[in-house]
Amino acid sequence: MDGVLVDSMPFHAAAWKKAFLDMGMEIRDQDIYEIEGSNPRNGLPLLIRKALKEPDAYDFETITAIYRQEFKRIFELKAFDGMKECLEMLKARFLLSVVSGSDRLIVNGILDQLFPGIFDMVVTGDDVLNSKPHPDPFLKAVELLKVGKNECVVVENAVLGVEAAKRADIYCIGIPTYVEPSKLDRADLIVGDHKKLMEHLLNLE
């Protein structure tokens, strides 16, 4: 969702940075972009270590609560141009699922406003114990959709998301929204921008 459907990661980054600052830590946008796709339970220890601190010394619930409050305050909802129309055309031919590491409340709130009725299944960070880069979120979507992995295509803009897709043994298209294309080199195909992504998806058989 974040970075593929919605241009939202800068708001996530700003909210996490505020939460960390309130707890006496500093992190960079790039630190957050590189762990995009993980849920707070798996991602927070990585970010705390990036801030050169020990995860055990911090209460994850407190940090996450500050992040959620700040994200809600600053977030401006914006889908990438043409994405809603592209999805509506794809829905006529394919089953569609969102697989996000974000909270269920955040994911459903965004989808209900921007893409109502589009997705057949939604998997959030609350639905699996092991987030990306573990394959579990994508395998959960495959199970819910009742399809074979060989029938699926994952679209990912995050390093951990591409890794998760490949660990799940699913074909993956990478779109480098917030990271360098080389960071997504495990993807089966890398497209340069959202226009090229949508052209490719609409030509799928």
Could you give phi then psi for residue 121, rounded to 5 degrees?
A: -145, 145
Per-residue b or e along 72-98, where b marks 16 or more CB atoms closer than 10 Å to that residue's CB: eeebeeebbeebeebbeebeeebbebb
Looking at residue 91, its amino acid is K
Task: Tell me if 8-74 shares its fold with 83-203.
Answer: no
Given a cut of 80, is residue 38 above it in pLDDT?
no
Q: Would you give the DSSP letter of residue 2?
A: B
Measuring CA to CA, which residue among 57, 43, 51 is closest to residue 103?
Answer: 43
Given a cut of 90, is residue 115 above it in pLDDT?
yes
- Please provide the average confidence, as pLDDT, over all residues in the chain: 93
Q: For position 42, what pLDDT does the model report?
A: 80
pLDDT tens per residue, range 167-198: 999 999 999 999 999 999 999 999 999 999 99
Q: Per CATH, which fold does 8-74 belong to?
A: DNA polymerase; domain 1 (1.10.150)
> Is-contact 38 131, C-beta < 8 A?
yes
In the chain, where the domains are located: 8-74, 83-203
Give the CA distances from residue 110 to residues 5, 37, 191, in Å, rounded to whole numbers and listed in that order. Answer: 10, 16, 25
Read off the pLDDT band of 137 (50, 70, 90): very high
Read off the pLDDT band of 40 (50, 70, 90): confident
Range 41-51 average pLDDT: 89
Q: For position 135, what pLDDT does the model report?
A: 97
Regarding predicted confidence, which is higher, 35 or 111?
111
Question: Which residues neighbour 136 within 8 Å (Cβ) at sequence distance 6 or greater?
Answer: 128, 129, 130, 164
Given a cut of 90, is residue 37 above it in pLDDT?
no
Q: For position 188, what pLDDT does the model report?
A: 98
Which tokens hold the place of 154? Answer: 């994952």
Which tokens hold the place of 138? Answer: 């994508």
Q: For position 41, what pLDDT does the model report?
A: 79
Count Cα atoms within 13 angstroms, Cβ side, for 5. Answer: 23
pTM for this predicted structure: 0.86
Regarding predicted confidence, which is higher, 135 or 131?
135
> Is-contact 91 68, C-beta < 8 A?
no
pLDDT tens per residue, range 116-133: 999 999 999 889 989 899
Q: For position 43, what pLDDT does the model report?
A: 85
Is domain 83-203 in CATH 3.40.50.1000, yes or no?
A: yes
pLDDT tens per residue, range 55-112: 999 999 999 999 989 998 998 889 999 999 999 999 999 999 999 988 898 899 999 9
